[in-house]
Amino acid sequence: MNNNAMPYNFTDIIAHFSTEGGNFEISNFGSGHINDTYLVKGKTGVHPGYLLQKINNFVFKNIDGLMNNMLHVVNHLKEKVSKAGGNPDKEVLTLIPTKTGEYYYKDEQDNYWRMTWFLQDTKSYDLVTTEQQAHQGGVAFGKFQYLLSDLDPKVLIDTIPDFLNIEKRLADFKDAIKKNAAGRLKKVQAEVDFLNSWAVAMNEIPKMGKAGILPVRITHNDTKFNNILLDKDNNIQCVIDLDTVMPGYVAFDFGDAIRTIINTAVEDEADLNAIQLNIPLFAEFTKGYLSQTKSFLTEAELKSLIMGVLLLPYMQSIRFLTDYLEGDVYYKTHFAEHNLQRTHAQMQLFKMLELNRKELENIVQTEWKNVKSGAVIEAPAVIKQDA
């Protein structure tokens, strides 16, 4: 980025952090919908560089709480990875403190900045194309839940209250319909009617939760495939985007991951015919996920996984359409009707998943039996689990 194009005073911002090297070059990075991410590379010194993020404080209202969560999570993960003989610097994000020992810096315009080590020779993908990637995705998110299963969920706050609470999402949707702030309601009445017709059926997980049948655990809650970094051999290196790590149900992570694992097209695909289900990738993800979670998953949680597979694309459709009705205030959009296109793509995915529910359910059951009987021996890429 040349100096004229720089939207912020990066020199000043970076100077607040305890960095090595100097003469930094800044470039835009990644394709996330929420934070602004920049790669910071020093022209002098050998350090591989840093990832600087402007935390979206419209989305995250409690930055102190958010960063406190992140610190808890990375410290816990680093300790467990070290104990298991892994490399915590590579497998877990490393926060860079400011020169005054904080983990974020608030600039004069009230922007919130944080920095992590840039993990070089890694890649994130918006689309999953190989069975290896799908398998690694399952291992990554399953292992993430496993490693955090002994951290008390009470030490973490809800960084976004009711984030994956479908009842609250439906109430917000209803409100957006009533207000019709962007004047777009007439155009999307058919989509609204379709989504409303499924509202009651999408209540299975909250019902089981309220009845105490599903345990509350620490979950990632944003398990899009591009929130994993793979190494150059396409093996999992690190789970990233820890902003929404908070108490939740395991089915949230399983279901949200499936949105990008099983879909043959990108999340906002314009051609609905291109959205097909890649069932072998679903089976691979499931195999990887269950291999890591078999020691703690309950029967009820196992049963809930398929409910998550339907709930998360449904909820995503509701969230995109709510934002469209509100005038695109939440997600970054790249063209005028982007949120509507995203809604259509997620609705299409939801319809296809619903039609294939039984087959997917059978795969989960089969893979569970295989994992439990010891028929699946995990590949050596997986780090040893803590004793």
Q: Which residues bind Mg ion (CB under 5 A)?
A: 32, 227, 241
Q: Does 128 bind ligand ADP (CB under 6 A)?
A: no
* Partner from ligand ADP, ligand GN1, Mg ion, none contacting 341, C-beta within 5 to 8 A by type: none
Distance (Å, whole) CA 349 – CA 341: 12
Of 32 and 42, the one with the shorter C-beta distance to ligand GN1 is 32
* Partner from Mg ion, ligand GN1, ligand ADP, none contacting 19, C-beta within 5 to 8 A by type: none
Of 73 and 382, the one with the shorter C-beta distance to Mg ion is 73
* Helix pair angle (250-261, 299-326), 10° resolution: 60
Helix H, strand E, coil C: the string for the chain is CCHHHCCCCHHHHHHCECCCCEEEEEEECCCCCCCEEEEEEEEECCCCCEEEEEECCCCCCCHHHHHHHHHHHHHHHHHHHHHCCCCHHHHCCCECCECCCCCCEECCCCCEEEEEECCCCCECCCCCCCHHHHHHHHHHHHHHHHHCCCCCHHHCCCCCCCCCCHHHHHHHHHHHHHHCCCCCHHHHHHHHHHHHHCCHHHHHHHHHHHCCCCCCEEECCCCCHHHEEECCCCCEEEECCHHHCEEECHHHHHHHHHHHHCECCCCCCCCHHHCCECHHHHHHHHHHHHHHHCCCCCHHHHHHHHHHHHHHHHHHHHHHHHHHHHCCCCCCCCCCCHHHHHHHHHHHHHHHHHHCHHHHHHHHHHHHHHHHHCCCCCCCCCCCCCC
The least CB distance from residue 95 to ligand GN1, in Å, is 18
Residues 76-95 that bind ligand ADP (CB under 6 A): 93
* Partner from ligand ADP, Mg ion, ligand GN1, none contacting 136, C-beta within 5 to 8 A by type: none
Residues 48-77 that bind ligand GN1 (CB under 6 A): 59
Q: Does 226 bind ligand ADP (CB under 6 A)?
A: yes
* Partner from ligand ADP, Mg ion, ligand GN1, none contacting 8, C-beta within 5 to 8 A by type: none
Q: Does 253 bind ligand GN1 (CB under 6 A)?
A: no
Q: Does 68 bind ligand ADP (CB under 6 A)?
A: no
Q: Does 116 bind ligand ADP (CB under 6 A)?
A: yes
Could you count the other beta carbons within 10 Å of the beta carbon of residue 68? 16
- Interface pick for ligand ADP out of 15, 71, 118, 203 (rule CB under 6 A): 118
- Interface pick for ligand GN1 out of 15, 29, 33, 192 (rule CB under 6 A): 33
Q: Does 119 bind ligand GN1 (CB under 6 A)?
A: no
Distance (Å, whole) CA 354 – CA 371: 25
Residues 33-52 that bind ligand ADP (CB under 6 A): 34-35, 37, 51
Q: Does 19 bind ligand ADP (CB under 6 A)?
A: no
Of 288 and 313, the one with the shorter C-beta distance to ligand GN1 is 313
Q: Does 308 bind ligand GN1 (CB under 6 A)?
A: no
Q: Does 267 bind ligand GN1 (CB under 6 A)?
A: yes
Of 116 and 221, the one with the shorter C-beta distance to ligand ADP is 116
Q: Does 34 bind ligand GN1 (CB under 6 A)?
A: yes
Whole-number CA gyration radius for the chain: 21
Selection from 245, 244, 252 nearest residue 214 by Cα: 252
Of 222 and 269, the one with the shorter C-beta distance to ligand GN1 is 222
Shortest Cβ contact with ligand ADP: which residue? 32
* Partner from Mg ion, ligand GN1, ligand ADP, none contacting 118, C-beta within 5 to 8 A by type: ligand ADP
List of residues contacting ligand ADP (CB under 6 A): 29-30, 32, 34-35, 37, 51, 93, 116, 118-119, 122, 124, 226-227, 229, 240-241, 243
